[in-house]
Amino acid sequence: MSETILVFAEHHAGKLARPAWEAIAAAQHLAGDLKAGVVAAVLGENPGAMANELAQADVQQVLAVASPLLREYTSDGYAAAAAQLIRERKPQYVVFSHTYQVRDFAPKLAARLGGGLASDCLGYRCEGRKVIFVRQVFQGKFYADVEFVGAPPYSVSFQASAFREDAVQRGPAPAPVENVAASLDASTIRVKPGERFREAKQAVDLAQAEIIVAVGRGIKAPENLEMAKQLAEALGGELGASRPICDSGWLPMDRQIGSSGQTVAPKLYLALGISGAIQHQVGMKGSKTIVAVNKDKEAPIFEVATYGIVGDLFEIVPPLTDAVRKMKSR
Partner 1 sequence: MKIIICLKQVPARDAVLRLNSASCWIEESDLTFEVNEPDLYALEEALRLKEKHGGEVVVCTLGPARAQQAIKEALAKGADRALHLDDNVFISLDAFGIAQALAAAIRKEDPDLVLTGLQSDDSGFAQTGVILAELLGLPHATIIMEIQAQEKSLKVKRELEAGWFEWMELPLPALLTIQSGINKPRYATLKGIMGAKSKPIQKLGAGELALTAEALEPRQKITRVYTPVKAAKTQFFEGSPKEIAETLLDKLKNEARVL
Ligand X SMILES: Cc1cc2nc3c(=O)[nH]c(=O)nc-3n(C[C@H](O)[C@H](O)[C@H](O)COP(=O)(O)OP(=O)(O)OC[C@H]3O[C@@H](n4cnc5c(N)ncnc54)[C@H](O)[C@@H]3O)c2cc1C
- 207 sits near partner 1 (criterion: CB under 8 A): no
- 148 sits near partner 1 (criterion: CB under 8 A): yes
Binding map of partner 1 across residues 309-328, x = CB under 8 A, - = no contact: xxx---xx-xxx-xxx--x-
Q: What is the DSSP string of 27-56?
A: HHHHHHHHT-EEEEEEEESSTHHHHHHHTT
- 123 sits near partner 1 (criterion: CB under 8 A): no
* Omega prior to 153 cis, within 30 of 0: yes
Instruction: CB nearer to ligand X: give 121 or 277.
Output: 277
Binding region for partner 1 (CB under 8 A) out of 23-31, 52-60, 88-96, 106-114: 106-114
Which of partner 1, ligand X, none sits in contact with 136, Cβ below 5 to 8 A by type?
partner 1
φ, ψ at 7 (rounded to 5°) = -120, 135
- 118 sits near partner 1 (criterion: CB under 8 A): yes
Instruction: CB nearer to partner 1: give 137 or 181.
Output: 137
Helix 313-329 vs helix 225-235: crossing angle, to nearest 10: 30
Nearest to 187 by CA among 30, 310, 80, 41: 80
Kind and range of the H or E element at 291? strand 289-294
Q: What is the DSSP string of 204-221?
A: --GGG-SEEEEE-GGG-S
Which of ligand X, partner 1, none sits in contact with 99, Cβ below 5 to 8 A by type?
partner 1
- 115 sits near partner 1 (criterion: CB under 8 A): yes
* Amino acid in the structure at residue 99: T
- 205 sits near partner 1 (criterion: CB under 8 A): no
**Residues 178, 60: Cα–Cα separation, whole Å:** 11
Q: Using an 8 Å Cβ cutoff, are 288 and 304 in contact?
A: no
Name which position in 243, 255, 280, 285 contacts partner 1 (CB under 8 A). Answer: 243
Q: How far is the CB of 138 from ligand X (least distance, A)?
A: 11
- 216 sits near partner 1 (criterion: CB under 8 A): no
Q: How far is the CB of 229 from ligand X (least distance, A)?
A: 17
